[in-house]
Amino acid sequence: MVKLLLADARVNPATMDNGPIQLSSQNGHADVVQLLLADARVDPT
C-alpha cells in the first residue's frame, strides 16, 4: 500500500514535518520508514 501511495505524485510523504516517518518509526514499521527515506521528496535531516 505504501509503495502505491509513493508512486502517486500527488502524495506528499513529507507532510506535517515528516509525520509519516515519525509515526511509522514510533509504531515499529521499519520497512515503511526505509521506503519513505528512499523517496526523493523526503528530507531525512
Q: Cα-flanking dihedrals φ and ψ of residue 28, to 5°? A: 75, 25
Per-10-residue mean pLDDT, the chain, length 45? 97 95 97 97 89
pTM of the full predicted structure?
0.87
Count Cα atoms within 13 angstroms, Cβ side, for 9.
0
The pLDDT of residue 45:
83
The pLDDT of residue 44:
86
Containing 24, the helix (H) or strand (E) segment is helix 15-26
The pLDDT of residue 33:
97
The pLDDT of residue 40:
96
The pLDDT of residue 10:
97
